[in-house]
Structures are given as C-alpha cells and as structure tokens.
Amino acid sequence: MATEESGTGLPASIEAAWGLRERPGKGPRPGLSLGRIVDAAVGIASSDGLGAVSMSRVAAELGVSTMSLYRYVSAKDELLILMEDAAYGPPPPGEPAKDWRTGFTDWAWALRAAYARHPWAVNVPISAPPSTPNSVAWMERGLACLRRTNLSEGEKISVLMLVSGFVRNEARMTFDILAAHQRKGESLESSMAAWAKLLEKLTDAERFPAVTAALRTGELETPGGPDDEFVFGLERILDGVEALVSARS
C-alpha cells in the first residue's frame, strides 16, 4: 500500500485521503488509520509547533511503534501534506454571495481563519500544486465565487492562486511569527514597533534616506490591529482584479 499508485500518480496515502483505494480484505484488521495518525500529528503541531512533529512522537501519542506509521504513509512529507489538508478543513458551506467581490472576500477571510486556527500549516513545505481533497474543495469554492465574472478560466485560476498565496503569506507574518514569539514567552505587544526601533539603530540617513524618512514619521511605532496589513493587501489586490473584471465585461 505504501508505494503503489493507481493511475493518478499520487502517493498512496493521498489517494487514500480521496477515498479511493478500498481496504483489501486480506490481512489482520488494521488497528490504526490514516485519519487517527493525521489527527495525532495535528494535535502535536497545535500544542508544540510543527517542529515537534516527529514520527516517533506521533507514534508515541497513538501508543504504537514508530514504524507502524509507515504502513499508512510512505514518508514524513506525505504526513505533512495530509496535516495541511486537515488544517484547511472543508470550505464554508452554502452558496457564496452573489456579488463576486464580497463572495471572494469572504473566501479569503475564511481561509485566513483556517490559518489562524492552525498557524503551523504555513510552514508545511509546498512541493506541488494542490491535490488533496480539502485544497481542491477550497479551489472549487473560490472558482464558484468568480463564476459570474467574465474572466477566462485561466484568469480565474490565476486570481485564485494570487489571492491564496497572499493569504498564506500574510498568515505566516501574522500568526506564525506571533505564535513562535508566544512560545518563547515574549509578549510581543507590537513586533512592528520593535522592528522600527531596530532599524533606527542599523540605518543611517546617508545610506538609507528613504528608510530613515519612513522611520522619522513614527508611523511604524503605532501598534495597529493584527488585521490591518491583511485588509490593506486584500483590498489592493481585489481593486486590481476588479479593474480586470470591468475590462472584460
């Protein structure tokens, strides 16, 4: 089961996540399951960070031996991909808003909320385009939001990747770095302010005139909500998309 494929070219564990690959009734009844393994791994990542997820730790959590896991997953990378899929969860149900922009904004916020619930997910290395069930389901919903626009299908996908990439990036900056600081015990009321103070020490007005000018306004010292950067970026991107949508109709 570990290395075989059945036409998709996907790893066996991911085919299993899609529900393909029914159990062949031969051997002893499995005491483990892919789902339980992924759940355990997610639990570890949620409490101690992605770095704490090791095969032995996951196995210990489940009360089995380390090597048992390799009956369900052929390498740790696959487990990580499945963890990421679990972090996304299914996209919000129901019909998206009629207006593409509000629908798509909802979609972006929902995705961001998933990352907020599972900050470690942004650190799962990306090795291929999305091919797990929930990833594709989120893609489906994103496309559905753009249904009523006149964008070409290729453009819709491009918009999707643009925005999902943005959400992921922004989530890393906000949730992941924040979670790391929290784990280290630092309160980090305002990382922005600390960064500004650091830059002030490193830069001189001669070699870094623009940076110094920016620092001098003191604007970077003001805390600002954790959502500010997200709102700003999303608005800019959607303004740009809106221009394209208008041009196409």
Partner DNA sequence: TAGAGTTGTGTATACCCTACGCAGTAACGC
Partner DNA sequence: GCGTTACTGCGTAGGGTATACACAACTCTA
List residues binding a copy of itself (CB under 8 A).
7-10, 18, 123, 125-129, 131, 136-137, 139-141, 143-144, 147, 152-159, 161-162, 165-166, 168-170, 172-173, 177, 180, 191, 194-195, 198-199, 201-203, 207-211, 213-214, 217, 219-220, 229, 232-233, 235-241, 243-244
Q: CA 229, 233, 235: angle at the middle one, nearest 5?
A: 120
CB of 60 to a copy of itself, least distance (A): 25
Pairs from 205-209 (Cβ < 8 Å, separation ≥ 24): none
- Residue 186: which of a copy of itself, DNA, none does it interact with, CB under 5 to 8 A by kind? none
137-146 in b/e form (b: 16+ CB < 10 A) is: bbbebbebbb
Q: Spell out the residues 6+ positions from residue 89 whose beta carbon is closer than 8 angstroms to its own.
A: 114, 134
CB of 12 to DNA, least distance (A): 10
- Residue 225: which of DNA, a copy of itself, none does it interact with, CB under 5 to 8 A by kind? none
- Residue 155: which of a copy of itself, DNA, none does it interact with, CB under 5 to 8 A by kind? a copy of itself
| Strand, coil or helix: 116 | helix
Contact between 66 and DNA (CB under 7 A)?
Answer: yes
Q: How many CA atoms lie within 13 A of 242 on its CB side?
A: 12
CB of 29 to a copy of itself, least distance (A): 28
Instruction: Between 32 and 116, name the residue whose CB sits nearer to a copy of itself.
Output: 116
Instruction: Between 71 and 172, name the residue whose CB sits nearer to DNA.
Output: 71
Q: How many CA atoms lie within 13 A of 17 on its CB side?
A: 30
- Which residue, 33, 138, 125, 143, is CA-closest to 81? 125
Q: How many CA atoms lie within 13 A of 220 on its CB side?
A: 16
Q: What are phi and psi of 79, to 5 degrees?
A: -60, -40
Instruction: Between 110 and 211, name the residue whose CB sits nearer to a copy of itself.
Output: 211
- Which residue, 83, 170, 172, 165, is CA-closest to 129? 165
Contact between 230 and DNA (CB under 7 A)?
Answer: no
Instruction: Between 75 and 220, name the residue whose CB sits nearer to a copy of itself.
Output: 220
Contact between 28 and DNA (CB under 7 A)?
Answer: yes
Instruction: State the residues that interact with DNA by CB under 7 A.
Output: 1, 23-32, 53-57, 64-68, 70-72, 74-77
